[in-house]
Amino acid sequence: MYIHNVLTLPFKCFVCLLVFAFSGVAQQSVSYGRVADSLIKVVKTGKEDTNKVNALNRLSKRFYNHESFDTSRFYSTRALALANSLKFKRGTAAAYNCLGVAYFKQGNYAESLKNYFASLKIREELNDKVNMAYLYIGIGGAYFFQKNNKEALTYYNLAMKIKEELGDKVGLAWCYNNIGNIYISQANYTEGLKSNFAALKIREEVGDKEGIGASYSNIGTIYSDQSAATKDPVEKEKLLRESLKQYQKCLDIMNTLGNKQAIATTLTNMGSVYYDLKKYKEAQEYCEKALDLAKKSGVLDIIKESDINLSNVYTAQASLATGSPKKQAELYRLALEHYKAYVSERDSLINEETTQKSLEQRIQYDYDKKEAKARVESEAKAAIARAESRKQKIIIGLVSVGLLLVLILAVVILRSLRLNQKQNTIINLQKAAVELQKELVEVKHKEISDSINYAERIQRSLLASKELLAAHLSARHGQNQEGYFVFFQPKATVSGDFYWAGILSNGNFALLTADSTGHGVPGAIMSVLNISCIEKAIEVEKLIEPAEILNHTRTRIIETLKKDGSEEGGKDGMDCSIISFDFVRNQFVYAAANSQIWIVRENKLHEFAPDKMPVGKHDKDSISFTQHTVQIQTGDMIYTLTDGMADQFGGPNRKKFMYKQLKELLLNVAHLAVNEQKIIIGDTINKWKADLEQVDDITIIGIRV
């Protein structure tokens, strides 16, 4: 089986895209849990003063640094309200800043800018130039990610002016660094190098060795990126060798400083450049050094990058060792070994993030629970006090009017009779109104249900038909033998998941499995738009290459959603895989966007990694999707799927099903007939979720070669 792979791009930990704007609240280097507990204690028991404002802002910072953005905004919003009530301007500015950073890290740049500017207005009133400079950098960063390079440059230059005025050369160097990134994003490598060399010069003047190393790494990366953009092989090699030269300078400095993480990262980058130079022996040497050092340092991110790089290096070496089958087999074994390690490390990182977020949510839950209990107790005591007060007033009133009560008793009786008559009339009218409302609700419910059912029929008509799938996936297996199954279980009547098939103009059979943004009615509407864009790419533009089809579809979706009325246009789209089958040559060509393809062959499951970007608006939407060719053989079981089953909660511990368990399930059933596989998959997921709600649409398609 031949799989076309490209070595992972350099792991650029030194390239600092932005220096975020921070509030003026100091942080201490202690464990996350202890600090969070102590700050929550201050928030819960402390006085309503500036110390509590500072504690709330510090909690907000800790949570956005750990990517718990909703919790971060909860604390900064409380800080903002308290600071405003105390007229504590610095606390107000810091709270706005925390909100800005949380929104920024979440990719909501419009809200980020709104809060940054609110903070900036106060910092300007206070003439707080240090934090003004940080805010200018943060604002420049938000504009940068909105692709508004003109405004980004304006604010980076304002930050530079203050940094020069304050004599902050280290900060000035980072401004040059960020300006360089704007030019690099425009593929203006000349200006990008100019800015980074300016940053390097300043860092050399102040003796900032860590920064000097970062500059060399940035410059090396620019040369590497520039080499990828040139088609002249002589110029490409020249740029790659210059990249190595800069990385070597960085490595020398980091060795002096003893920065093991930076050393491992630089070794990984150098291994990537040697790979591009097709010097696989050197690439292997540097990647192995990086892996060894990363393991000693316990840096899982770099371990993961080193393993995938080594997997690709061994694969490239194996493809050249055609004259020695034994050596070739050993190299493929090593490639597979490192790839398995990469997958394990990637899953570990995901699990660590999930565990960390669960811890943060538990801390927040415990605090909210205690606070709610205290509030309820306080309100209960206040209610008892109010009840006692009312009781005393009632007694005094009754005593005061006791003598008069006998005189007005007759009047009261008459008024009571009249009131009862009015109440009976009102009750009868209310009953009639309730009955009428019930009838109206039933009519509206029927109208809505009929509309949704009609929409479901329309959407199902757009899916790949059984006749089309059978003609191309079952016909080769003989009469009455199924060659495929489709397990399609939407969360609601209509679905954001869909599957589409068609014949390309070169005669190949194309199959697309997709997960549109959202589910239910919004997801279904998005799926109709996605199908329309796919069909135009294939039927109107006559595109035949999967990568080109996804590129064109992405452009159409972005252009269409620009009209949604928002400032930056819609960010919806889909995750999907598209496969072009050539059964004559026993191969298929695919491109995938955040959507995996698996093959079970001889009791082993092979994964085909997707591009980590959606078909829609994204910070990588100017980058083309990659295309891969895969050889297939009789007996292979090919699976395409969305993430619905892996993300479904259930089981005895109410946890996600996860991809690991799904892989084990498919490995166990792959040898069975396809209709039996479908039944087992359905029974498994429905038993797993039991009485829990289905969280997303579920689609799994299996194809027997």
Dist. CA 311–CA 307, nearest whole Å: 6
Sign of the alpha-carbon dihedral angle for 492, 538, 6, 249: negative
Cβ–Cβ < 8 Å for 596, 556: no
Dist. CA 615–CA 654, nearest whole Å: 32
Cβ–Cβ < 8 Å for 598, 666: yes
Dist. CA 215–CA 657, nearest whole Å: 44
Dist. CA 2–CA 371, nearest whole Å: 60
What are the distances in angstroms from CA 273 to CA 295, 335, 564? 22, 19, 43
Which amino acid, 671? H
DSSP state, residue 492: S
First-residue to last-residue Cα distance in the chain = 14
Q: Is the pTM of this model over 0.75?
A: no
Of 291, 300, 248, nearest to 273 by C-alpha is: 248
H-helix or E-strand spanning residue 45: helix 32-45
| Pair type for strands 628-631 and 587-593 | antiparallel
Q: Which residues of 486-515 are buried (b: 16+ CB within 10 A; e: fewer)?
A: bbbbbbeebbbbbbbbbebeeebbbbbbbb
Structure tokens at 617: 């608006």
Dist. CA 221–CA 247, nearest whole Å: 8
Of 96, 148, 119, nearest to 136 by C-alpha is: 119
Listed in sequence order, the DSSP H helices in 489-631 are: 520-535, 546-561
Of 579, 459, 581, nearest to 519 by C-alpha is: 459
R_g of the chain computed on alpha carbons: 32
The pLDDT of residue 422 is 67
Of 528, 557, 532, 541, nearest to 615 by C-alpha is: 557
Structure tokens at 398: 């009754």
Could you tell me how many residues make up the chain?
A: 705
Dist. CA 196–CA 14, nearest whole Å: 12
Q: What are phi and psi of 332, to 5 degrees?
A: -65, -35
Our measurement of the distance from residue 515's CA atom to the centroid of its chain's CA atoms, rounded to an integer in Å, reads 15
Tell me which residue has tokens 């093959």.
599
Neighbours of 16 (CB within 10 A): 15
The pLDDT of residue 267 is 94
The pLDDT of residue 478 is 67
Dist. CA 701–CA 705, nearest whole Å: 13
Of 488, 468, 678, 489, nearest to 581 by C-alpha is: 468
Structure tokens at 163: 């940094």
Which amino acid, 92? T
Which amino acid, 472? H
Tell me which residue has tokens 């969070």.
36
Neighbours of 234 (CB within 10 A): 8
* Residues with pLDDT less than 50, the chain: 1-32, 354-356, 358-367, 370, 372, 374, 433
- Classify 320 in phi/psi space as left (phi over 0), alpha (psi -120 to 50) or beta: alpha
Dist. CA 230–CA 76, nearest whole Å: 48
Dist. CA 637–CA 702, nearest whole Å: 7
Cβ–Cβ < 8 Å for 300, 349: yes
**DSSP annotation string for 333-349:** HHHHHHHHHHHHHHHHH
631: β partners: 587
Cβ–Cβ < 8 Å for 359, 62: no
Angle between helix 129-145 and helix 89-105 axes, rounded to 10 deg: 20
- Classify 649 in phi/psi space as left (phi over 0), alpha (psi -120 to 50) or beta: beta
Q: What are phi and psi of 133, to 5 degrees?
A: -65, -45
Neighbours of 75 (CB within 10 A): 26
The pLDDT of residue 494 is 87
3-state secondary structure (DSSP) of residue 496 = coil
Structure tokens at 3: 């799989």
Our measurement of the distance from residue 328's CA atom to the centroid of its chain's CA atoms, rounded to an integer in Å, reads 38
Residues sharing a CB contact under 8 Å with residue 458, sequence separation 6 or more, in sequence order: 528
Our measurement of the distance from residue 701's CA atom to the centroid of its chain's CA atoms, rounded to an integer in Å, reads 25
Cβ–Cβ < 8 Å for 203, 240: no
Structure tokens at 51: 């110390």
Dist. CA 77–CA 56, nearest whole Å: 9
What are the distances in angstroms from CA 269 to CA 304, 436, 546? 13, 72, 30
- pLDDT tens digits along 113-129: 999 999 999 999 999 99
3-state secondary structure (DSSP) of residue 73 = helix
Neighbours of 164 (CB within 10 A): 13
DSSP state, residue 231: -
The pLDDT of residue 1 is 26
Dist. CA 18–CA 10, nearest whole Å: 19
